[in-house]
Structures are given as structure tokens and as C-alpha cells.
Amino acid sequence: MRAQANLPALAVAVVLLTTGTVTAVALGVDAFHEAERDPVERRVAESVAERLVAGDSALTRRRGVLDGPAVDSLNGTTLDRMVPTANGRSIRIALGGEVVLSRGGPAGGTTVRRVVRVARPVERERAIDLATTRTVRLRNRTGRVALDVEPGANTTVSTVRAGRRVLLHDPTGLDGTATVRVARTDRRTLSVSANENATGTVRLRYVRANASEAVLEVTVDA
């Protein structure tokens, strides 16, 4: 048996090689599982987020600016109509940490975040006391303004202007209510022309968009 002395050595070599091969394959399996992502989940989450903040979405005023009340009334049916991709998937939509819509209770899954502005309408009322002031500055994009002109005695309110554009004019005196639109291109100063020593008030009512920043989170668990 002397001549077979290298057989044990060969056996050891075979065992070592086998161990090496098995270890390599096992490492490969681990690496493979670690590299596994769910591209479908991510895609759906991205499309939903993208469609929700798009300029032509039912939830936005313009691209990236969500309409607060519209977001509050979002439900599964409207979501599926807006984004058919979301149909039948576990999904959760949160705005600024508050869950707006949750369906199927996604556990884990993929989350996509978008920074958005959320506009909420706030009713504002202001009054111009004609005895002291004649102008008032409005915010950008004010839009429709309801005016209520209440002149005092010996007072003729002839003109209301936005910047230099005339909104209301009556040389014999304005009185009562009227609704005007302040265009985006107008200067933001609303001014009232009246005679000297005028008394009375002009009341303004308008809706101001109160915008705040928030993070929109869309979580999808396929």
C-alpha cells in the first residue's frame, strides 16, 4: 500500500475543494438575495406619487401644490380612477405624517416621498376705514374679492382700482355690494377713490390660499 500513500492527500484535497465550491455558491446565493429589490412596488409607488402631484391631477392646483380639501376627501375609488396602476394593491398615502388613505394595511413595502406645498383656503375679511386709509395690499393670486361699500354721510366713493386698473366706477357714488376679480397681472394694491373728509367703510371678503410645505409619502406593498 505504500504506493497509494497519496490517496489520502487527494481525498483531503477533494474535501477542501468541495467545501470551497459549496461556500462560494452559498455566498453567491446570499449576495443575490441581498441585491433583490422589488422594482414593481417601487414603480407603482413612484407612478402614484407622480400622478398625484402632476399639474393635471385632481388633487393639485398646479404642479407640486396640493389642494388641502381635495386631499382630505381622497378615497380608494378616486385613487383607482386617477391612477389605475394602484388598483388592487396595498397602499398607504400620508401627507405630513398624517395618513390620508390606507388600503390593505401595507406592512413594510416601498415608500416614495415627494416634497409638496399644501394649499388650504382661508376666508379673510378686511375693512378699509375711509376716514383714515384708502388702500389695502392683497396677497398674490387673490382672485375674487367681494366688496361691500358702505359710504358715510357726505361721502362719494367713485372708483375702486387694482393697481391702475379700474374695477368699479360710478361718479355719482358706489354703494352696496359687488364682486371683482383681481387678475394675476394686476398690482396687488386695491385703492378706493373718494372725496375728501369721507367717512364710512369698504369691506373686503376673499379667500386666501394658506400654503404650507409637507412631505407626501406613498407606500406600496405589492
Partner 1 sequence: MGDALAADRRGVSSVVGKLYELAIVLGFVGVVTAALYGSAVPDYRTATGVEVGDRTLATAATRVEAAVPPDATSLRVEVAVDLPETVAGERYRVRAVNDSTLVFDHPDAAIGGRARLALPERVVAVNGTWESTETTVVAVDGGGDDVRVRLVGR
Site for partner 1, rule CB under 8 A: 1-4, 6-7, 10-11, 14, 17-18, 21, 25, 28, 32, 36, 39-40, 42-43, 46-48, 50-51, 54-56, 63, 83-87
Pick from 203, 202, 205, 184: nearest CA to 193: 202
Yes or no: say if 159 and 130 are a contact pair by the CB < 8 Å rule: no
14 burial level (CB within 10 Å; 0-12, 13-18, 19+): exposed
CB closer to partner 1, 113 vs 139: 113
C-alpha grid cell, residue 84: 389605475
CB of 186 to partner 1, least distance (A): 25
Yes or no: say if 87 and 80 are a contact pair by the CB < 8 Å rule: yes
Rounded to a whole number of angstroms, the CA Rg of the chain reads 34
CB of 32 to partner 1, least distance (A): 7
Cα dihedral angle (132, 135, 139, 144), rounded to 10 degrees? Answer: 110
CB of 144 to partner 1, least distance (A): 24
CB closer to partner 1, 53 vs 174: 53
CB of 1 to partner 1, least distance (A): 8
CB closer to partner 1, 64 vs 152: 64
CB closer to partner 1, 93 vs 138: 93
CB of 84 to partner 1, least distance (A): 5
